[in-house]
Structure 1
Amino acid sequence: MSILLLLISGSCSAVASILLRVASQYAVVSGDLSTLLFARPNLMRGAALGAYGVGFLLYALALKRVELSIAYPVMVAVTVIELYLFSLWSGDGLSFKTISGAALLMAGVWLMYSSRGAAA
């Protein structure tokens, strides 16, 4: 159950990052107050804050049962993988460096997770 909370927490962080990126691509033309408050970019930024908040709460719940040395890398790995997938989907592409970094991150998470049973 705690691993599921970490996976969802990482997904919330990825969604928030994607919303912030998409919101930054919009320009608010009008200067009146209703447009500034309810413009699509500002709604996306608000949704991103909400996603970060939900992710933080789920992460805090997962930390009750999972060691920090396992929880944080798992959550970050989920976030990074989802952001890489979004980059591929949106046509940004990935360089050899970013693919290598993701592979090293995943290898590190796997090593820490698999060694946890050996240390106990």
Structure 2
Amino acid sequence: MNFFSYAFASLFFSALCSAIASIILKYNDKLWFVSSITNVTLAKIPAVGFYGIGFILYSIGLREMDVSRAYPIMVSFAVIQLMILGYFFGETMTLKMLFGALLVVIGIFIINTSR
């Protein structure tokens, strides 16, 4: 399976939805479309929506890939995306974190090529 298949695309966007949902939950006061909602419970609805879309995309990815490969790949995508999104929200990026992200990318490659 190549890196440009529907399975990888759906896993990538599933992870992106999960990462966006996490950012909404963490930084809801910095996001214009959530910060205006005064009810704390209602402010979480966009995050739940993104998690739901991510779940659907993950299930699409599972059609073409075994769960033992799909889940680590999807989570790895989410880790990298959250590091990037977190940086834009002022979170610190250390050399250790960057090295860890590199190991994640190497792990994705190893999981995908080992059969």
Q: Distance in 1 between matches of 2:103 and 2:74?
A: 15
2:11 is matched with which residue?
A: 6
Tell me, in whole angstroms, the C-alpha distance in 1 between the residues paired with 2:7 and 2:13: 10
CA distance in 1, matches of 2:40, 2:83: 22
**Cα pair distance change 1:59/1:91, threshold 3 Å:** same
What is the DSSP-based 3-state SS (H/G/I as helix, E as strand, rest coil) of the residue aligned with 1:64? coil
The whole-number CA distance in structure 1 between the counterparts of 2:85 and 2:43 is 17
Matching residue of 2:3: none
CA distance in 2, matches of 1:43, 1:103: 37
Unmatched 5+ residue regions in structure 1? 27-37
Seen in structure 2, the aligned counterparts of structure 1 residues 97 and 2 have a Cα distance that, compared at 3 Å, is same
State the shift of 1:86 in Å.
1.3
1:1-120 → structure 2 map (5 Å cutoff): 1-23=6-28, 25=29, 38-39=37-38, 41-115=40-114, 119=115
Count the aligned residue pairs. 104
Tell me by how many angstroms 1:114 deviates.
1.7
Supply the RMSD in Å over aligned alpha carbons. 1.9
TM-score, normalising length: structure 2: 0.78
Identity of aligned residues (%): 34
Distance (whole Å) between structure 1 residues aligned to residue 11 and residue 94 of structure 2? 27
- Deviation string 1:60-97 (CA, Å, 9 cap, x unpaired) is 12112111122112211221111111122222221233
Taking the aligned partners of 1:18 and 1:40, their CA distance within structure 2 comes to 18
- Please state whether the residue corresponding to 2:91 is helix, strand or coil: coil
Runs of at least 4 residues of structure 1 off by over 3 A? 40-44
